[in-house]
Amino acid sequence: MTAPNSIHPNSPGHSNRRLDVREGRVDLSHGGGGRAMAQLIEDIFRRHLDNDLLRQNNDQALFGPVRGRLVMSTDGHVISPMFFNGGNIGSLAVHGTINDVAMAGARPLYLAAGFILEEGLPLADLERIVIAMAEASKAAGVPIVTGDTKVVERGKADGCFITTTGVGEVPDGIVISGERATPGDAVLVSGSLGDHGIAILSQRDNLGFGTELQSDSAALHGLVADMIAAVPDIHCLRDPTRGGLAATLNELAAQSGVGMLIREAAIPLKPEVRAACELLGLDPLNIANEGKLIAICPAERAEALLTAMRAHPLGRESAIIGKVTKDPQQLIELETPFGGRRLLDWLTGEQLPRIC
């Protein structure tokens, strides 16, 4: 057994120095399991994300028991740029997974966060990201209770990737699932579409059109709680992220073995999203959203659901946009403002890489 000896003799020593968050950068030692990693965790992650469960300080968080059925969901976040109008990859990583948990009608309880960092990432950027996570998590009332950090060499990642996983509790009697859409059901959306995707596009260097548009990134579990309180028999909930409304409706139609008829004129769209899409040749119905949901419920409960949605700050522009049809081909038909019909297919290729 030889004496401890690094094969990277030039790697910087970190022992007992405080992390230089203002000027420092992530280096490989921050992922090495030694003192530098412990310091990174202490000075950035624990400092900002602090809560009772994280403070257990083990490789796992212990909680519960939980009385009801549970859901679990995971989501990787690789958005580029990492900082954007309306948030950053940290707030997005919290909102995105809370929303996936909430789309089962569940109350999100806890989050786990796995970071993959590129060597050279400014520690100040990492701190901004972690602060945004902390704020989003606090505002949502869903603590980040455990985490992990890996560091890869420069050029082997792109700044920061964050995979968050959430668990939540499903209230008794709630059965919300993608295969429950039934012919005759109403289809609702909680607000204007395309805001997130167009906000991100507008900030990418190679598409320099100016807009004040903000990402709609938000945690929707409060809206969902109000919705199931008003209409416990909601059949489906899903957030139209990558692939937009088109992909989400096609997924639900395929899963339930139904078709849908959507009135194009009823779909809420911001004028600046409409304008940007016309300029770029994009369909806003393919664009990612991060703070909107699609709901499907029995037709006779649609007005009650709409009222509940509009009463919530994140659902003020909600609308009934169409209905579920009987269609063995599982097609989504769009009724145009002029009375014609076209198919709303999901995209075959890639439209907007790294939008979330």
Alpha carbons 286 and 351: distance in angstroms, whole number: 8
Note whether 247 and 312 are within 8 A (CB). no
From the list 91, 101, 98, the residue with the least C-alpha distance to 48 is 91
Does residue 65 have a cis bond before it (omega within 30 degrees)?
A: yes
Shortest distance in whole angstroms from residue 214 CB to its own copies? 21
Per-residue tokens: 207: 């598409």
Q: How near is the Cβ of 264 to its own copies at its closest, in Å?
A: 6
Q: Which residues contact 278 (CB under 8 A, 6 or more apart)?
A: none
CB of 307 to its own copies, least distance (A): 26
Residue 293 CA to residue 244 CA, distance in Å, equals 10
- Among 7, 177, 202, which Cα is nearest to 86's? 202
Report the C-alpha gap between 76 and 161 in whole angstroms: 7
Query: With respect to its own copies, which residue has the nearer C-beta, 120 or 310?
Result: 120
Rg of the Cα atoms in the chain: 22
Closest distance of CB 47 from its own copies, Å: 17
Cβ proximity to its own copies: between 304 and 341 the closer is 341
Nearest residue (CB) to its own copies, 222 versus 244: 244
CB nearer its own copies, residue 206 or residue 313: 206
Using the Cα atoms of residue 292, residue 45, residue 125 and residue 163 in order, give the sign of their dihedral: negative
Which residues pair with residue 188 across a beta bridge?
A: 295, 320
Cβ proximity to its own copies, 278 vs 303, nearer residue: 278
Nearer to its own copies, 12 or 300 (CB): 12
CB of 284 to its own copies, least distance (A): 6
**Minimum distance from CB of 187 to its own copies (Å)?**
17
CB-nearer residue toward its own copies: 126 or 356: 356
User: Which residues, in sequence order, are CB contacts of 3 under 8 Å at separation 6+?
Assistant: none
Shortest Cβ 303–its own copies spacing (Å): 26
